[in-house]
Chains A and B, each alone.
Chain A
Amino acid sequence: MSETFDKKALIVGGGVAGIQAALDIADGGYQVILVERTPSIGGHMVQLSEVFPTLDCPQCILTPKMVMCGQHPNIDIKAYCEVESVTGEVGNFTVRIRHKATYVDWDACTGCGQCEQKCPTKAPSEFNRELAFGPRKAIYSPFAQAVPNKRVIDADHCLKLTKDKCGICAKVCPTQAIRYDQKDWIEEIKVGAIIVATGYELYKKENLTEYASDPDVIDGLEFERILCPSGPTAGVIKRPSDGKEPLDVVFVQCAGSRDPDKHLPYCSRVCCMYCCKMAMLYKHAVPDGQAYIFYIDVRTDGKMYEEFYQRGVEEDRIVYLRGKVSKIFREGDKIIVFGMDTLTGKRVEVAADLVVLAMAMIPNPAGEKVKKILNLETDTFGFITEAHAKLHPVETGIDGVFVAGTAQAPKDIPETVAQAGGAASKVLSLFSGVEKGGKAALKEMAG
């Protein structure tokens, strides 16, 4: 180990896990570099409509934390960036970070949004899960409360960058921030510890060949966007194909999860709760509508979760059907769902207007490269393996590298936040241990 020890932390991934860990370390007095690959921190949580079990809006509870991250003197957010390489060891990691070209000078951009307003080009919005309702512009920020509040140009769609036409944004920008000739650039930083919080994605619907690929068969995150009061439909419940209000909505739990023969054997842990939540929110928005949930069993293993589920059954009259869905297909205006009610032993057929598949959570494929660079051990599905399943839940096999959130395993927000706090405290005790006891103390800690 070299003489110096960089008491600075790198956090990869700016979802709620990364945000929480960043704030905890920064509040403890150490510097944090928070790297996020999309233009804004927030992760999947800001895409959600309301969150169980309290039904508060994630924009209300997460954006304050995002803003705190943005303003904290000890936090340096590097958005639209990715980790290129890591060398060294605990205390002395050298990290090369790729700043992807945004084609906007972020020092000059004030976030006024005039460019976005005037840009003539539309493209599917990743933030809105590419739903037909909510396209974005070629120059954009993913959502209104983005942190940092800067714009990026999507080089695949921008007319200037694809066809050397247009150029409107450069004309309207009051601070002349547009840089069509910007290139990626690499920055090198030194840190003493790393937290990997690259989060999750959803298993692709297309993997379930028995379920039709149809605009009205959507995944959970797509429906979250449709339910979201500040989402692309302004909270009005519409189905993607024709914008009609769906009156029969079927939810299919464990879509891809708990299916060792064909898909993924594990339980994604949040789907039981979020299906109940989404069915409830749907019923609040469309009181005449009917929500059906097909389930294997309902797992409500958190504080206030069982009570939440009972409310869904008793007050919102969600129809729970215990059985798997064998087939989903379109017949004219309807989406036909073939299922089984194993409690009565009868086949069930529902002619639905919209079907929501609770697709399994998988590790975010965008995190693959970082895991390889860091040489992190993963399970067969790609979730990062902790150093000990019980006693070292946030440490990894590499000294000075920690894990938080759904990059480790499927989990809900409370657990993600708790684990992020745990990872942060490990970093804090590492840094303050070095500060108070010097290298000897560290050696002892490292064993």
Chain B
Amino acid sequence: MKIPYYPGCTLKTKAKDLEDSAIAAAKVLGVEMEELPQWNCCGTVYSLSTDDLIHQIGPIRNLIRAKEQGSDRLVTLCSMCYNTLKRANEFFLADEEKRDRINRYMDEEMDYAGDVTVVHLLEILRDEIGMDKVKAAVKKPLTGLKVSPYYGCMLLRPASIGIDDMERPTVMEDLLRALGAEVIDDPYKTECCGAYQTVNRKDVVVTCVHSILTSAQGNGAEVVALSCPLCDFNLDNRQKDIQQAYAGFHTMPVLYFTQLMAIAFDLDESVCRFELSSQDPRPLLKSKGLIA
């Protein structure tokens, strides 16, 4: 299955580990994610103001790029991009008059009808590939690895675009189980990581992430799995700041779900780009016999 893929800025820089591992792991399952030949910023944060049409132009242009590839679907990896693109399309579809104005504003583009469905890779794994097939592709089951999934907000809220039950999602749990991992439930898995407060209110993020990680550890987790580069920055990088704020805090590795897929599929370790992690996951993975 070939599907146009929208990476977004972070996946080309800080989150190269997400992109490389995702593309390689998806390929094992027969999903070829083909990067759009041309794309622009997703808009980063969905604009909540209803008359702020200009903010919808960025994401909508990306959907038009997918259309140009002859597709009515677009896959994303970053939760933030997923959220912004999907909601922009929803906004666009909801109101004919606004749709018309946005189309007229972009008179150099083809008229867009709102007919590109934005999907997240996790949805493809669950709804099209199926966890049984994922399980069948596993060569090195993550046996004994205690993983706590973390969803954050952007994959689940608002409910109209969420990929799963926003109160008690299970898609990552199902995936991790298919990979052979031991899933640890963390009640904080849908709590906010602090998001962009990380820029000027680091303390807010430190408090949020401290609760998330200590709760996961308290329940026995050794590693956290997630899908969003911003969550990843907060959960992984900010552990240095947490250590300063909370004496006795123990650090733990944080991985993208796609990196765990790559390990379980026994792909070349280079696609995981572990060197980009601030909390090095390699000692843990080695101790479990999952990497050399």
List A75-127 residues whose CB lies under 8 Å from chain B. Answer: none
Asked if A138 CB lies within 8 Å of chain B CBs, one says: no
Could you tell me if B215 and A210 are in contact, using CB atoms closer than 8 angstroms?
A: no
List A153-210 residues whose CB lies under 8 Å from chain B. Answer: 208-210
What's the dominant secondary structure at chain A's contact region? Answer: loop
Could you tell me if B187 and A329 are in contact, using CB atoms closer than 8 angstroms?
A: yes
- A-B contact sample (12 more), CB < 8 A, given A327-B187, A327-B191: A208-B167, A209-B165, A209-B167, A209-B168, A210-B167, A210-B168, A262-B159, A327-B167, A329-B187, A330-B187, A331-B187, A332-B218
Residues of A within 8 A of B187 (CB): 212, 327, 329-331, 336
Asked if A444 CB lies within 8 Å of chain B CBs, one says: no
What's the dominant secondary structure at chain B's contact region? Answer: loop
Residues of B within 8 A of A261 (CB): 159
Query: In the complex, how many residues of chain B place their beta carbon closer than 8 angstroms to a beta carbon of chain A?
Result: 8
Bound-complex Cα distance A261 to B167 (A): 13
Query: In the complex, how many residues of chain A place their beta carbon closer than 8 angstroms to a beta carbon of chain B?
Result: 12
Residues of A within 8 A of B167 (CB): 208-210, 327
Q: Scan A320-356; emit 1 where CB is below 8 A from any B CB, else 0.
A: 0000000101111000100000000000000000000
Bound-complex Cα distance A208 to B167 (A): 9
Residues of A within 8 A of B165 (CB): 209
Residues of A within 8 A of B215 (CB): 331
Closest to B190 in A: A327
Residues of B within 8 A of A327 (CB): 167, 187, 191
Closest to A349 in B: B211
The chain A residues found within 8 Å of chain B, CB to CB, are: 208-210, 212, 261-262, 327, 329-332, 336
A210-B167, A212-B187, A336-B187 known; A331+B159 contact, CB < 8 A: no
Bound-complex Cα distance A209 to B167 (A): 6
Residues of A within 8 A of B168 (CB): 209-210
Residues of A within 8 A of B159 (CB): 261-262
Report the minimum CB–CB distance from B166 to chain A (whole Å). 9
Bound-complex Cα distance A24 to B218 (A): 61
Bound-complex Cα distance A332 to B219 (A): 9
List B165-200 residues whose CB lies under 8 Å from chain A. Answer: 165, 167-168, 187, 191
Residues of A within 8 A of B191 (CB): 327
Report the minimum CB–CB distance from A329 to chain B (whole Å). 3
Report the minimum CB–CB distance from A12 to chain B (whole Å). 37
Closest to B219 in A: A331
Residues of B within 8 A of A332 (CB): 218
